[in-house]
Amino acid sequence: MIDRAEAYIWKTARVLEQRRFEVLFKGGDPEAVKAALEPYKTADGGYGYALEPDGRGPTSQPPHIWTALETLEDVGATDERVPDHLQTITASDGGVPVATPNMRDWPVAPWWAIGTEGSLLATALLYAPLSKHLEHPWLDGAEAFLWRQVDGIEKTHPYEVEAAITFLDAARDRERAQAAADRLGQLVREQELVGTQPEGYTVGEIHHPHDFAKSADSLARAWFSDAEIDASLDHLASRQNDEGGWDITWAVWTPAIKIEWSGLVTIAALKTLRSYGRV
């Protein structure tokens, strides 16, 4: 599986994902990953230039920033500039929007919510990696915002759940995080968010247990039986395509994203499978 994925990465992926693969699976140089991120940096302390492929153009946006932070996590690093930048786009309640209004001038996927109101999804995916490395006033406001949002969830959808559990896995109050994760897991079951296609999602855009419990030590792992996790991982492994990579399940709204995302989701699939001892 790894050999086939490696062939796919070298044949298809961006330089950044090639460098990530080298570090994660071949003992590559961590500094090369940091160097490959440099072209995506923006002067205001964020990241842009389609680092997260669904947003094109040069402006810094939260999805590009959380993609950069996730990449830096692969080498045990972070970007200390980021919290100062986030403070400039944070709403008064402590949350960060998915995309800021200056994205309206550039090509963007229709599901990016452009505005100024704080988003659980965006704030959680930024908070989790930063909180592992830094102490900063932005983190305190973001954490308070996230607890209010998570505690208030009654009706949800799979991507929001993914972000919420990412926050809970990183939250400092572990007892509170465990209780919130237990409640969230019940909502996932009650609202039938596993193995079904929610309203408004692309055909085939279905979430499986491994999409919520991306690693074996996630609080979401307890939502599923061993048999359910095994079946989910079997399904994930089976989705390796003939070329050796994994494809996105959401809509291809411009041709470039199919290729650019494939490197990202291939690495994500391998990381999940490795976490559970499958590779």
Q: Each residue of 122-172: pLDDT tens digit?
A: 999 999 999 999 999 999 999 999 999 999 999 999 999 999 999 999 999
| Whether the Cβ atoms of residue 64 and residue 48 lie closer than 8 Å to each other | yes
Residues near 181 by beta carbon (within 8 Å), at least 6 away in sequence: 165, 168, 219, 220, 222
What gap in Å lies between CA 178 and CA 164, rounded to an integer? 12
pLDDT on residue 275:
97
- The two structure tokens encoding residue 201: 């999602």
What gap in Å lies between CA 210 and CA 223, rounded to an integer? 11
| Whether the Cβ atoms of residue 237 and residue 273 lie closer than 8 Å to each other | yes
Q: Classify residue 102 by its DSSP letter.
A: G
- The fraction of the chain above a pLDDT of 70, given in percent, is 100
State pLDDT tens for residues 222-272. 999 999 999 999 999 999 999 999 999 899 999 999 999 999 999 999 999
Residue among 214, 140, 130, 129 nearest 173 (CA): 140
CB atoms within 10 A of CB 226: 8
The stretch 73-83 carries a mean pLDDT of 96
pTM for the full model?
Answer: 0.94
Q: Does pLDDT of 48 surpass 90?
A: yes
What gap in Å lies between CA 275 and CA 221, rounded to an integer? 12
| Whether the Cβ atoms of residue 72 and residue 79 lie closer than 8 Å to each other | yes
| Whether the Cβ atoms of residue 168 and residue 219 lie closer than 8 Å to each other | yes
pLDDT on residue 4:
96
What gap in Å lies between CA 164 and CA 153, rounded to an integer? 10
Residues near 18 by beta carbon (within 8 Å), at least 6 away in sequence: 9, 10, 263
CB atoms within 10 A of CB 140: 11
Across-strand partners of 108?
55
What gap in Å lies between CA 253 and CA 218, rounded to an integer? 32
